[in-house]
């Protein structure tokens, strides 16, 4: 039976951003985070041309020859900077699943501000704050990614404000934890498949996201994003034009003592080979707090019925484990 479009909440957050009705938005968001961990937002404030230009310039980059794209590969494969070639990473690995690598290619961009001097004494931090790789061709590609990174960064700060209110916290609760964040922008390209995938191989294997929150813009194509719903059924996620997908990552589940969900999701393969309409793009922003931020249970998420269940861990240690596993196939 073909999957049906499920009722993933669509929430207009503009009344929070313009301060006309913060409580209503926070309540809607809280319900979505507790029930599913996925929502679709409108009224987010990112101009349509910023998103469209990022897609256009990314498409131009991915259309370059493989030799030209490989010039922008990072020094080590686990470093989330620059170009990562088709089928060289597998997110199912991060859950300990033995599956072939994902059927996509990616360009990564890290923080635009240089915070390395603050973390020179912390092992592993050099990778989190590694310099970006900026291609010179296409000529407008790098600036397009910078622009959408800045807009996503601002939106993520606003979403965390909404989360704080939804969790009965001071609106600025998360602010001190993201002053030197190491958030990642990823421009993914899922080309039409020319050969049959290996058994168990998908565009992106089932996984949960590593960080606090993910913001995602996508083009519509066959073979898209699906989320595992509470009834254990996979449903497609289908935002309309200028809507964005927001989902919780593992850090938010840790912060909320499991009250809010970091939900399994995947990107399925198109049904047909050589289907040009299945060529797909996404541009996502993975919000990671400061490298040394301690992810510890929020007090409002602990009570007699829900005792604390997670040990504290630094953001940097948590992310490093997940990234390493995505390349090496070990958890």
Give pLDDT, residue 322.
77
**Distance (Å, rounded) from C-alpha 184 to C-alpha 193?**
27
Sequence-distant (≥ 6) Cβ neighbours of residue 190 within 8 angstroms: 103, 104, 203, 221, 223, 267, 278, 279, 280, 281, 282
Give pLDDT, residue 124.
83
Residues of the chain predicted below pLDDT 70: 1-6, 92-96, 326-331
| pLDDT digits 0-9 by tens, 158-217 | 999 999 999 999 999 999 999 999 999 999 999 999 999 999 899 999 999 999 999 999
Give pLDDT, residue 5.
46
Give pLDDT, residue 171.
97
- DSSP bridge pairs for 314: 294
| Contact between 286 and 183 (Cβ < 8 Å) | yes
| Contact between 205 and 103 (Cβ < 8 Å) | no
| Contact between 80 and 110 (Cβ < 8 Å) | yes
Give pLDDT, residue 2.
41
Single out the residue of 280, 274, 209, 221 nearest to residue 246, CA to CA.
209
Residues written for the chain: 331
Tokens 């313009």 -> residue: 18
Give pLDDT, residue 148.
98
Give pLDDT, residue 114.
93
| pLDDT digits 0-9 by tens, 146-155 | 999 999 999 9
Domain spans in the chain, listed from the N-terminal domain onward: 13-328
Give pLDDT, residue 267.
96
Give pLDDT, residue 4.
45
Q: Three-state SS for 225?
A: strand
Give pLDDT, residue 222.
86
Give pLDDT, residue 236.
94
Give pLDDT, residue 325.
73
Give pLDDT, residue 173.
97
| Contact between 43 and 50 (Cβ < 8 Å) | no
- Quickly name the fold that domain 13-328 has: Jelly Rolls (2.60.120)
Beta strands in 191-306 (DSSP E): 204-207, 213-218, 225-228, 234-236, 244-248, 265-267, 280-287, 294-295
**Distance (Å, rounded) from C-alpha 89 to C-alpha 87?**
6
Rounded to two decimals, what is the model's pTM? 0.94
């Amino acid at each position: 039976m073909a999957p049906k479009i499920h009722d993933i909440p669509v929430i207009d957050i503009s009344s929070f951003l313009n301060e006309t009705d913060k409580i209503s938005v926070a309540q809607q968001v809280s319900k979505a985070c507790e029930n599913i961990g996925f929502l679709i937002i409108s009224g987010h404030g990112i101009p349509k041309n910023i998103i469209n230009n990022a897609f256009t310039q990314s498409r131009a980059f991915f259309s370059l020859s493989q030799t030209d794209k490989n010039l922008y590969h990072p020094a080590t494969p686990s470093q989330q900077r620059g170009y990562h070639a088709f089928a060289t990473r597998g997110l199912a690995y991060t859950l300990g699943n033995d599956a072939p690598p994902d059927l996509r290619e990616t360009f990564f961009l890290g923080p635009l501000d240089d915070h390395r001097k603050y973390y020179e004494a912390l092992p592993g931090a050099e990778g989190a704050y590694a310099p970006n790789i900026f291609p010179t061709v296409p000529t407008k590609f790098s600036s397009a990614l910078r622009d959408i990174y800045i807009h996503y960064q601002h939106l993520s700060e606003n979403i965390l404000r909404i989360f704080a209110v939804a969790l009965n916290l001071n609106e600025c609760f998360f602010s001190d934890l993201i002053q030197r964040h190491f958030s990642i922008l990823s421009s993914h390209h899922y080309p039409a498949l020319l050969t049959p995938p290996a058994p168990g191989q998908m565009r992106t294997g089932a996984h949960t996201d590593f960080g606090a929150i993910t913001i995602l813009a996508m083009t519509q194509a066959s073979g898209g994003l699906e989320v595992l719903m509470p009834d254990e059924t996979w449903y497609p996620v289908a935002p309309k034009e200028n809507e964005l997908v927001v989902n919780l990552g593992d850090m938010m589940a840790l912060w909320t003592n499991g009250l809010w969900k970091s939900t399994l999701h995947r990107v399925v393969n198109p049904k047909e080979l050589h289907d040009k309409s299945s060529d797909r793009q996404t541009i996502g922003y993975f919000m990671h707090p400061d490298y040394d931020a301690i992810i510890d249970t929020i007090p409002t998420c602990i009570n007699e019925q829900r005792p604390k269940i997670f040990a504290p861990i630094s953001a940097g240690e948590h992310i490093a484990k997940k990234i390493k596993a995505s390349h090496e196939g070990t958890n």
